[in-house]
Amino acid sequence: MALLLGVAGTAVRSDEAQAKPTDILSINPAVCVALTAGADWNVDMDADTDKDATDNYLAAVAACGDLHDPVDLAALAAVLDGDVDDPGTYADLAAAGADQLNENTGALWVLIFVTNDAVIALDADEGNWASSGNSLAACAGDADCDANGIKGDGVVVDMLLGAGVADLGDAQLVATQSGVDVFLDYVVVGDPDDLTLAVIGGDTIQEGLSASDCKKLDVSDFAAEIAAPEVTGLIATVTDEDGTELAGIQVAFDSDDTDVVNLNLATMVTLATDAGTLAPNLACGGDIGTATVTAEDSKGNDAEVDLTVIGAPDAMTLTASPAKITCNGVTSSTVSAALVDSEGNPVVDGTKVRFDVVALGVSDPITATTVDGAATSKITPLSLASAGVVVVVSVDSADLEASIRVDCEPAAPPVVPPVTPPVTPPVTPPRTGDGGYLD
């Protein structure tokens, strides 16, 4: 998302310390259920979160897994009651859904975190509440319902429904308990109206990754995975008629030639991330050729891209510019390695190439990656003691190796300007008159 896929949401927490209720979050049930159904990949929405936060997030996804009906409010309450009363457990999951409510068939689970058992009153700008009378009892009677030492449940749930009555745009809901309000901003969105498919990492991939190995990749570590020459990234974005990027939309991916291009995921749901609201996927190069990858949402909107798979590095040509330099520890030569596959095509961007100086010199960088089929490194000899330095260039992934020498030439002697003698004025003798006598 960094395509590390860190989530970003719009939930608003109360600014009042220890308020009653303390926090409010909304979860898009379509995101929740879809993530649970597609839990064959290890969901970690933010690589910078610590282990406790990740465990909490995965616990929230597990709670979603117990819900087979996204609009079953009683089932949601049963799952949450007594289990988790920390809003941090659900923060990432809530953010992934972008607090969006579909105007017609959409639903938002609203989680209200409380510290007593007073009745909660609810109000919302758009949509209808699933509960009757727009009020919830935090806990029946004067009981410690979740055995946490506090009278009243730790979390109370309700559901906001689009129900065909909500208008598109920004809206706000409020939960009031014991005279204290907490607010949540949400967005009413329409049905999917358009889908775009972007390639992140280039539409040319290197051959060599099987379908089974492609499925083992981790789409949540998007940026790291697409750095490999055999992998590129796919980003599907679904928008409504207003152009709002939609969360919780299932996107199906397909390759028309799985021998050439295979996919990490067959389906993915759109999630709110730092990079936008999108469904990420990874495409891998199998055999040499061209394949068309298609993405399609639940309303039939689709888009396609062509991906070309070329061969692995097969030959390498080295050049040094300049070929001869003054070896004084400062002056450098740029060594370039041009790589092609067996058919003479430049290799894909991102192929790693290593530059090792045998002795008395340094390379910067030691490992470079190809751009437009070539990788370069700056070579700096450290001494005039030798006639030159040898640079060994290798590509481990293709078992290629070659070498080139950067020659040393003596430093030119300093230019000394010629010495010009000073110019003195001529001396004119006095006049002595005729015959040497004075007048």
Q: Are 375 and 354 in contact (CB under 8 A)?
A: no
Low pLDDT (below 70) residues in the chain? 1-21, 33-86, 89, 117, 132-154, 385, 411-416, 424, 426-439
pLDDT tens readout for residues 218-247: 888 899 999 888 999 999 999 999 999 999
CATH topology of domain 23-189: Immunoglobulin-like (2.60.40)
> Which pLDDT does position 291 carry in this prediction?
97
Classify domain 315-409 at the CATH topology level. Immunoglobulin-like (2.60.40)
What confidence tens digit (pLDDT) does each residue in 296-305 have? 998 999 999 9
Rounded to two decimals, the pTM is: 0.74
Please state, in angstroms and rounded to a whole number, the distance separating the CA atoms of residues 125 and 364.
60
Beta strands in 130-285 (DSSP E): 135-136, 155-161, 169-177, 180-189, 194-200, 204-206, 231-239, 250-255, 261-263, 267-269, 271-273, 276-285
pLDDT at 53: 45
> Which pLDDT value is given to residue 41?
34
Q: Which of 79, 74, 78, 85 is nearest to 152 (CA)?
A: 85
Q: Report the amino acid identity of residue 108.
A: L
Q: Which fold has domain 194-310?
A: Immunoglobulin-like (2.60.40)
Q: How far is CA 138 from CA 85, 110, 360, in A?
A: 12, 13, 75
Return the pLDDT at 18.
39
Residues of the chain with CATH 2.60.40.10: 23-189, 194-310, 315-409
pLDDT of residue 382: 85
Tokens of 132: 């009757």
